[in-house]
Amino acid sequence: MLKIDDIYVAYDDLQALWGVSLEVEAGEIVVLIGPNGAGKSTLMRAIAGLQPPSRGRILLDGATIHQLPAHSVVERGVVLIPEGRRLFGGMTVLENLQLGAYATKARDVHVETLRRVFEIFPILEERRGQAAGTLSGGQQQMLAIGRALMGLPRLLLLDEPSLGLAPLVVRDIFEVLREINKDGVTLLLAEQNARMALGVAQRAYILEQGRVAGQGTGQEMLQSDHIRRAYLGQLGPIEEAKP
């Protein structure tokens, strides 16, 4: 579905990504893990058409998209939920959701899609007239996901969806992501909560210093000594880990 082929991305003189290649198959949940500054957000922005690569290619269903403007990428079913959610705080929950139905196909079925969003997030229907900026952090993340779903994504990009949320809220968000994936939406997730992210992922990539430093299935990553030391805070093999 998605193929990243040897891309380089820079911000002026600052090189952020160096020869990154990865693939996401339709129906998968694929996770990007890595430390702050590794290039995860830059990669997400590049896919979404917000930070075009200087070299390499980004392909969706075999067609190049890296030269398209961001709104054309959205029209092709690729929707980004950015880090920090980027909601319109002074607008209501409903208004924020309606803005998500930007693409032509999404506008045509926005009533049905809104009904599905409210099924997934009943609290958003209860607070549809409330200003988005007055919601709790968890509710704002639900709204950000709901707004993205209004765009009828085939590929949903999520940048640090658990950032700043309480553990119980994080668990609920990841359960929702599983449900969205079961509805047929492919997910590419950049996340520092490696344990939670790898637990839902079919496959994962490690980004370090702007390069792919490793890849494998979610379970392989959870068993990796390097991942356990660097990202899970555990020093020994899994069978020796203390609860």
Question: What tens digit of pLDDT does each residue of 147-177 get?
Answer: 999 999 999 999 999 988 999 999 999 999 9
Tokens at 20, concatenated: 């990154």
Q: How far apart are CA 64 and CA 150, in angstroms?
A: 24
Burial of 74 (0-12, 13-18, 19+ CB in 10 A): buried
Low-confidence ranges of the chain (pLDDT < 50): 235-243
Sign of CA dihedral 38, 1, 220, 170: positive
Q: How far apart are CA 81 and CA 168, in angstroms?
A: 21
What are the phi and psi torsion angles at 146 (to 5°)? -60, -40
Write down the pLDDT at residue 227: 85
Write down the pLDDT at residue 239: 38
CA dihedral 144, 146, 152, 157 (to 10 degrees): 40
Assess contact for 140 and 132: CB atoms under 8 A.
yes
Write down the pLDDT at residue 195: 87
Q: What Rg do the C-alpha atoms of the chain give, in angstroms?
A: 18
What are the phi and psi torsion angles at 189 (to 5°)? -125, 120
In this prediction the pTM is 0.89
Amino acid at 45: R
Q: H/E element holding 23?
A: strand 14-24
| Segments in 32-109 forming alpha helices (H) | 40-47, 70-75, 93-100, 104-108
**What are the residue boundaries of the structural domains of the chain, listed by start?**
1-77+189-243
Write down the pLDDT at residue 64: 96
What are the phi and psi torsion angles at 161 (to 5°)? -65, -20
Which residue's structure tokens are 């990553």?
Answer: 221
Q: How far apart are CA 98 and CA 153, in angstroms?
A: 15
Burial of 73 (0-12, 13-18, 19+ CB in 10 A): buried
Please give the CATH topology (third level) of the domain spanning 1-77+189-243: Rossmann fold (3.40.50)
Write down the pLDDT at residue 234: 53
Q: How far apart are CA 220 and CA 22, in angstroms?
A: 17
- Per-residue model confidence as pLDDT tens digits over 57-90: 999 999 999 999 999 999 999 999 998 888 999 9
Write down the pLDDT at residue 175: 94
Write down the pLDDT at residue 241: 34
